[in-house]
Every structure is written in structure tokens, then in C-alpha cells.
Amino acid sequence: MHRRTNLRAAGRQGRILVVFPLIAFVVSLCCMAVIGKDTLRRPRPDRIVWTIAFAIFAIAAGAEMIGSLSGWTPAIVRIYYVTGAVLVVGYLALGELYLLASSRISKFAPGVMWLITALAITLVLDAPVDERLLAHDGWEALERNIGLTAVTLFLNIGGSLILIAGALWSAWKFRKLGTQRRRMIGCILIALGTFIVASGGTVTRLGHREYLYIAMSIGIAVIFAGVLETRRSDQDSRGLRALLGLNPREDTGKIIPFQPGIVSRNARGNDAQALDYLIERLLPLDEAALDRNCREWSVDRLDIDALERSQAHQVWSLRTRLDPAAQQRLDELSPATRAQLAELYFEVFRASEHVGQTG
């Protein structure tokens, strides 16, 4: 009698706990869809990697649901472990590294990540599963050797540190510049969500496996909120403002936060992409970083403290193409940096249009 009651209670608890993997599964799919849409619209390495990462997270949460509802099998255990326990944090961290230092890691990062992925899959496939423990222990029936444990700890601890430190550093950078408040808040939320996810793994290792997906579902929801917050500037400028047909210049006396993606209503095609790149990727940087980026695009900094007439024409022409907040940021820069940016825009980015037309 007592045994039957305990079994019923355990069954109810299992059905309740499966709600949290379901939440993580749905939120992961939403993250994948949102970032995947951005990737299709404008592919970037960080977006591609994060789309893959959230797809991996969704697979892990789906495996957890199937195992909890219909029973664990060695195949489900291995799918869950390689995706949820080993790879997902590593791919999220790789996406963060692309955001922080894309030019420095782009040559070797994909190869290294594919190598680690292949190694992780091989180690998981070679690890035996004690089928006698499946019903009670679930994925913990997988017997982990030293190599698999080392790879798991390396990706989870190292990846969590990269995610948290990178997101907080980005938030600090935006706070210092006084720009892109929504992206700053989004970065803080991403760091907080990563910490919550990591804490779930820590609690699991202390013997409380039932709390893993409670932390996972909350953490992934917070990360998703951060991702949405970092996108709000693009959505506000291209969505609501475009729908209403408003030009940023038409706001009367209202201070507009410096946001990426807000360009002149007259900008079209390649011109809009060039302006968006300047606003989103370059203007938030300090002058030293701006100089490095411009030199990477073949535009050197001039040793001047005032603009010549032709340079002033270029700077003013660039300024008229920007929204008020970006204009304010441009005005804060030194004459040499303003001339450097204007030359980059007109002599490199705009010149590429003519190259494409004549080709």
C-alpha cells in the first residue's frame, strides 16, 4: 500500500518536474527562431553560432522530456549528455567570443570547436551506460571516464566564465560610453541567465538532480529576455518608427538613446548597410579602437587638429545621414577620428557600390 502510494507520488513529481524541461525546450526554440531570423536577414558568425547553440539546448531539453515521460534509454542518455551536459555552453561561449573578438578568432575558432565537438561525441559514444540504473538515475547512468569529465568541466566552467565576463564587459563598455542602454541591460540579463544555468549544474553535482531544469528553464528564459532586449533598438527603429513613417529628425526636443540600426530614411541598399555598420559596430568604440578598426579597412588616421575644407564637407555629409543620437556621438569625436570615419564611409564603403556596378 505504502509502496503504491510512493509510486504515485513519484509519478506526480516526475510529471511536475517535466514542466521545466518543457519550458526550456519552448524558450530555446524561440531563441533559435529569433536569432535565426536575424541570421538569415544579416548573417554574422556570432548569430550563426548562437542559433546552433539554442538548437542544441532545445535538443537537450527535448531528450530530458522524452526520458522523463517514456523512460530513459542508452540512446536518449547519450543525446542528452552530449548536447545538454557538454556542448551547449561551449557554443554559447563561442558566440560571445565572436562578438568580442571576431577578427582575432575567426581563423581558428571554427576548427577548434568542430574538433572539440567530435571529441565530445566520440567520448560519449564510447562511455558505457548502466541499464540497471536507467529507471532510477536517468542520464546519470552514463559512466563518465576522466577524459569525458575533463571535456565537460572545461566547456562548462570555461564557457560560463567567458559568457558572464564577456556580457558584463560589454555592459560596462556601453555604460561607460553612455550609449545603447537597452543593449547594456540585455548583456546584464544574459550574464545573469548564464549564472543561473551554471548554478543548476552546481546544484546537480551536490546531489539535487531534480532542481537542474528548474534552474535551466529560469536561466534560459532570462537569457532570452536579454537577447530580446539587445534587439529592441533594431525593432524600434525599423519596425514601429518605419511603420509610422517617422524620421528621427522629426522628433521635437526629445533625446533619443544612441541605438544601432537607426539610419536616415533616405538611406537605401548598400548605403543603409554601411551606415548601420558604422552606427552599430564603430561609433560605440573609443577612439583608439575606432582607429584600429579603420586601419583594418585601409583608412589611416591623420595627424590633424582641425578639418580641411574637403574633409569638413565629407564629415558634414556623413553627419546628415545619421540620426540625432549618432550625430551627437560623432560630434564628441576628435577632428582626426571624424575625418577617418568619413573617409572610411565615402572612400571604402560607398566606393564599393561603384565597383559592384562596373563589375
| Domain co-membership, 231 together with 258 | no
Do residues 108 and 150 lie in contact, with contact meaning Cβ atoms separated by under 8 Å? no
Predicted confidence at residue 211, as pLDDT, reads 61
Give the phi and the psi of residue 66 in degrees, each rounded to 5: -60, -45
Residue 142 β-bridge partners:
129
Mean pLDDT in the chain? 76
Which stretch of 87-96, 141-150, 212-221 has the lowest confidence by average pLDDT?
212-221
Q: What percent of the chain has pLDDT over 70?
A: 75
* DSSP three-state, residue 321: coil
186-208 pLDDT per residue, tens: 778 888 887 887 776 555 554 55
Residue 152's domain is classified under what CATH number? Answer: 1.20.1070.10
| Domain co-membership, 191 together with 217 | yes
Q: pTM for the full model?
A: 0.61
Q: Give the residue from 209, 239, 269 where a domain finishes.
A: 239
Q: How much is the average pLDDT of 118-146?
A: 88
Q: Give the residue from 239, 269, 284 where a domain finishes.
A: 239
Domain count, the chain: 2
Distance CA 309, CA 289 (A): 26
Q: Which domain holds residue 285?
A: 248-358
Q: Give the residue from 239, 256, 283 where a domain finishes.
A: 239
pLDDT of 260 above 50: no
| Domain co-membership, 175 together with 104 | yes
10-62 pLDDT per residue, tens: 444 445 467 878 888 888 898 899 888 888 877 778 888 889 999 998 998 89
| Domain co-membership, 312 together with 179 | no
| Domain co-membership, 214 together with 264 | no
| CA 335-340-343 angle, 5° bins | 125
Nearest to 341 by CA among 355, 359, 354, 322: 322
Q: CA 231 from chain center: how many Å?
A: 11
| Domain co-membership, 56 together with 152 | yes
Do residues 321 and 262 lie in contact, with contact meaning Cβ atoms separated by under 8 Å? no
| Domain co-membership, 266 together with 192 | no
| Domain co-membership, 195 together with 334 | no
Please report, as a single letter, which amino acid is at residue 255. I
| Domain co-membership, 21 together with 43 | yes
